[in-house]
Structure 1
Amino acid sequence: MKISQGKAAWIVLLFSILFLWVGNRYASAHALHITISGYESEMNDQLFAKVTRIDSVTPSQTDSSTNVVKFTCIITSGDKKGTSVYATQYAYKNNAAMPPQVSPNDKVVLGKLSDGSSTEYTFENYDRIEQVFWLSLVFVGLIVVFGGKRGLKTVLSLALTCFAIFFVFVPCIMAGFNIFASTVVICIYIIAVSYILTGGINQKSLSAAIGCSGGVAFSGAVYIVMERIMKLTGYYNDQTSLLEQTFTQCPLDLKAIVFAMVTVGALGATMDVAMSIASSLEEIQKSKSNMRKIEIIQSGFNIGKDIMGTMTNTLILAYIGSSLIMVLIYAASNYPILQLLNKEEIIVEILQSLIGSLGMLFTIPFTTVISAWLIRKSVGQRPEEAKTFPHVSQSQQKKNLRIHTFNDEGR
């Protein structure tokens, strides 16, 4: 029974709601209440406000490089929403790392200090959520404008992917569940939901899903092998050490965390490659249905060569861009190149880019072969065969077609 794309989308949406709700409830029920020291109280004492007036700017009596800025603002969140309060900012004159001085109409985050008898409000940071929200809205709007219904499904797929990561996968890690198993489950969910929403339930989506799964599995297997050969520890930066100190009640397998990073990172690229190849081969089959499997495979490899050149650059540049600050720090310190390349912090970044690229490369032939087999079966018999011999078996049609062609050539 063939399922329309509309029904497939509703099935996926209902399944996703069930998966996210059950997954989040189950993981949250087993999760330990873990907070980094000082962070929870800091978050509870923060308020959002809008600056209405700058009252005074005076040099600090203890630090000549600092100005003490007194300003009036209106609180926009919490129980005191709408209340006008006075706040203080310590603006550093020559420190680019610190937030600049506030101005009227700026939206800020305030910290609240109370000793019981009085309350003091201090500037903590700028509230940048609104700008991110509008930029995200532009992004979503352009996808819908350019993609129409398909674009809307893409946005829905992206939202479900983010929900799965933050509301199921992360709580599973917090609960101490097996990270390897959690990574596999979340990858399968993302692949299934994304392909069914954007492509429907058909041979093309199935081909892309199998090809993508093969590429991701290959990436994960390569990491496991390389992790053992290279004797990695998982302690590759300050954040991993902080994780270990935080999760004392439920120790984390840091090597499994790196596995999840590599696998989920490779998933995005392999999904794109797999769907591009499967979709292209389906269109080729529709326009020329008498192609042999070997011809379809050759076409898939040719398409893969073009994709390979751009996607490999995309992956490598993405990882280089994300670690550029770290590279600059080591470059400025004149760190010996051989010692630098042996640091686990650098090794993990290199592994992420190389393994992600290898997974993408493996996806190309795997998806091509799967698509050549599945999509060719779905296309069915050739149009000229069906038109010439509609009531004859397919094998007899082929035989009769060869005889018919031979007679035409003889004439």
Structure 2
Amino acid sequence: MNLKKYCYRLSKGKLVMFTFLIILFIGSIIFVNNNDRFYNRSIVEVTSIAQVDEREVVDQRQNRDIVFRQYLTGVVKNGPFKGQSIQLSNEYSQSRAYHPELSVGHAVFVGIEEQENGALFGEITEIKRDQVLVLVGWLFIFTLLIVGRKQGLFAIISLVLNTVIIVYTIHQFAATANAELLLLMSFAVVVITILSIFFVSGFHVRTYAAILSTLIGTFALLGIAIAVLELTGEQGLRFEEMAFLSRPPHAIFMAGVLIGALGAVMDIGVSMASSLFALYEQNNQISVKALIESGREIGKDIMGTMTNILFFAYVSGTIPSLLLYFLNGAPLGFTLSMNLSLEITRALAGSIGIVLTIPIGLVTTILMIEWKRRKL
């Protein structure tokens, strides 16, 4: 009878949660399709496409492209000109390098000018994408909940909190003249690590082991990276992409190294702690030697894949820049130096953190297991 009541309560709780999510989903879709009044910028919905012209262009390197110009008619959806018709033009290339091709029904942000005869003309600044973003966001949420269930929910909460913490930290750095970004980000890393692992793993001894492993490994790699850059005088690093910032690029780069490596190091710390504690829970009498051997095998299995993931994640973002340099005839060495020096350095620093966290996680977890044994 008690089992039936428990199953009934569990099913009822899932039904309430599912209903709540569906209501949120429908409400968010309705909102993003009717939220024009909340924007300060003018929004225009494309109602018709009058004409499309095209021309072929060739640059100095004989790269060919086709440029299209659309002549559009739209209706203003918000602001003082709401409901009025407006004439627009949209220029885009076949390569879609800058602006996208517009279709009837697309909503765009527009800078509006009123002519002397009362006619409205405008310049398109960007396309309104919140509908697509909301759909993709809900797809991510539902996938995570279906696969991870309760842990998926905690992962979503953790992700939201981590995003808020990072954005707030960067905002505080930008708003404060003498703020130290590396110090602020170090504090943020501690908070993010504790919250993320507690949300995912709960309040267990293995959670404490994972938190300690992650923090020790992350700050160890930061110390090694700082020491290496000091000894080499930062030779070979190209900070030109940060030239427009009014702050020292070194601190900003190191903060990026710290945050970029945190995810991989955290994964190693959690994997080591969870795996070794699972072995201990199956056999409370397992020897330290057996745990060490198991930890080494686990480390070997995940070290190579995590290093590759980190490398590909950093380098993939530079593909458009590499193509841009190569298509314009830039030398190979110069192109790689300009686009990959910082990314390769970040990947190497993260890889060092991964390698360090394996023995650190192994030792920390075994110490926690021995402490738990003595406590029992």
> Following the alignment from structure 2 to structure 1, what is the Cα–Cα distance between the partners of residues 153 and 95?
44
Residue 69 and residue 231 in structure 1: after superposition, are their counterparts in 2 closer, same or farther (change >3 A)?
A: same
Aligned residues: 325
Q: Which residue of 1 aligns with 2:75?
A: 73
Q: Which residue of 1 aligns with 2:358?
A: 364
1:19-77: CA deviation from partner (whole Å, max 9, x where unpaired)? xxxxxxxxxxxxxxxxxxxxxxxxx97322322233x22659xx9965350312241x5
1:364-396: CA deviation from partner (whole Å, max 9, x where unpaired)? 1101110011033225588xxxxxxxxxxxxxx
Q: Which residue of 1 aligns with 2:165?
A: 164
2:214 to 212, 215, 218: 212
Residue 276 and residue 120 in structure 1: after superposition, are their counterparts in 2 closer, same or farther (change >3 A)?
A: same
Q: In the alignment, is the contact (CA less than 8 A) between 1:285 and 1:376 conserved in 2?
A: no
Q: In the alignment, is the contact (CA less than 8 A) between 2:264 and 2:310 conserved in 1?
A: yes
Deviates most, 371-380 or 215-224: 371-380
Q: Write out aligned runs for 1:133-144 (5 A).
A: 133-144=134-145
The answer to whether structure 1 residue 312 and structure 2 residue 307 are counterparts is: yes
Report how far residue 149 of structure 1 moved. Answer: 1.2
Report how far residue 336 of structure 1 moved. Answer: 4.9
Q: Which residue of 1 aligns with 2:113?
A: 113
Report how far residue 172 of structure 1 moved. Answer: 2.6
Q: Secondary structure at the match of 2:110?
A: strand
Residue 112 and residue 354 in structure 1: after superposition, are their counterparts in 2 closer, same or farther (change >3 A)?
A: same
> Following the alignment from structure 2 to structure 1, what is the Cα–Cα distance between the partners of residues 134 and 244?
30
> Following the alignment from structure 2 to structure 1, what is the Cα–Cα distance between the partners of residues 273 and 192?
18
Identical pairs, percent: 23
Report how far residue 221 of structure 1 moved. Answer: 1.1
Q: Write out aligned runs for 1:231-242 (5 A).
A: 231-232=233-234, 236=238, 238-242=240-244
Residue 78 and residue 292 in structure 1: after superposition, are their counterparts in 2 closer, same or farther (change >3 A)?
A: farther
Report how far residue 95 of structure 1 moved. Answer: 6.2
Report how far residue 124 of structure 1 moved. Answer: 2.4
1:98-153: CA deviation from partner (whole Å, max 9, x where unpaired)? 43442211122212235899553232222222212211111111111111111100
Q: In the alignment, is the contact (CA less than 8 A) between 1:51 and 1:103 conserved in 2?
A: yes
Task: Name the aligned partner's letter for residue 132 of structure 1.
Answer: L
Q: Secondary structure at the match of 1:140?
A: helix
Q: Which residue of 2 aligns with 1:400?
A: none
The answer to whether structure 1 residue 354 and structure 2 residue 355 are counterparts is: no
Report how far residue 234 of structure 1 moved. Answer: 11
Q: Which residue of 1 aligns with 2:224?
A: 222
Residue 292 and residue 83 in structure 1: after superposition, are their counterparts in 2 closer, same or farther (change >3 A)?
A: same
Report how far residue 79 of structure 1 moved. Answer: 5.9
> Following the alignment from structure 1 to structure 2, what is the Cα–Cα distance between the partners of residues 349 and 208?
27
Residue 356 and residue 141 in structure 1: after superposition, are their counterparts in 2 closer, same or farther (change >3 A)?
A: same
Report how far residue 331 of structure 1 moved. Answer: 4.6
- CA root-mean-square deviation: 2.9
| Higher RCO, 1 vs 2 (CA within 8 Å, ≥6 residues apart) | 1
> Following the alignment from structure 2 to structure 1, what is the Cα–Cα distance between the partners of residues 366 and 355?
17
Task: Name the aligned partner's letter for residue 372 of structure 2.
Answer: S
1:53 to 48, 54, 62: 48
Which 5+ residue runs of structure 1 have no aligned equivalent? 1-43, 245-251, 383-411
Task: Name the aligned partner's letter for residue 289 of structure 1.
Answer: N
2:297 to 287, 294, 302: 302
Q: In the alignment, is the contact (CA less than 8 A) between 1:69 and 1:90 conserved in 2?
A: yes
The answer to whether structure 1 residue 321 and structure 2 residue 316 are counterparts is: yes
Report how far residue 238 of structure 1 moved. Answer: 4.9
Report how far residue 198 of structure 1 moved. Answer: 1.4
Residue 203 and residue 95 in structure 1: after superposition, are their counterparts in 2 closer, same or farther (change >3 A)?
A: closer
**TM-score after normalising by structure 2:** 0.77
Q: In the alignment, is the contact (CA less than 8 A) between 1:48 and 1:110 conserved in 2?
A: yes
Q: In the alignment, is the contact (CA less than 8 A) between 1:191 and 1:271 conserved in 2?
A: yes
Q: Which residue of 2 aligns with 1:6?
A: none
1:228-250: CA deviation from partner (whole Å, max 9, x where unpaired)? 23323898355411113xxxxxx
Q: Which residue of 1 aligns with 2:104?
A: 104
1:327-357: CA deviation from partner (whole Å, max 9, x where unpaired)? 33455536254x566x365321111011101
> Following the alignment from structure 1 to structure 2, what is the Cα–Cα distance between the partners of residues 93 and 326?
18
Task: Name the aligned partner's letter for residue 372 of structure 1.
Answer: I
Q: Write out aligned runs for 1:263-302 (5 A).
A: 263-302=258-297
Q: In the alignment, is the contact (CA less than 8 A) between 2:89 and 2:123 conserved in 1?
A: yes
Q: Secondary structure at the match of 2:243?
A: helix
Q: In the alignment, is the contact (CA less than 8 A) between 1:293 and 1:373 conserved in 2?
A: no
Deviates most, 205-214 or 117-126: 117-126
Residue 147 and residue 372 in structure 1: after superposition, are their counterparts in 2 closer, same or farther (change >3 A)?
A: same
Residue 50 and residue 360 in structure 1: after superposition, are their counterparts in 2 closer, same or farther (change >3 A)?
A: same
Q: In the alignment, is the contact (CA less than 8 A) between 2:237 and 2:342 conserved in 1?
A: no
> Following the alignment from structure 1 to structure 2, what is the Cα–Cα distance between the partners of residues 186 and 262?
14
Residue 122 and residue 344 in structure 1: after superposition, are their counterparts in 2 closer, same or farther (change >3 A)?
A: closer
Residue 49 and residue 304 in structure 1: after superposition, are their counterparts in 2 closer, same or farther (change >3 A)?
A: same
> Following the alignment from structure 2 to structure 1, what is the Cα–Cα distance between the partners of residues 235 and 245?
14
> Following the alignment from structure 1 to structure 2, what is the Cα–Cα distance between the partners of residues 286 and 335?
58
Structure 1 stretches of 4+ with a deviation exceeding 6 A read none
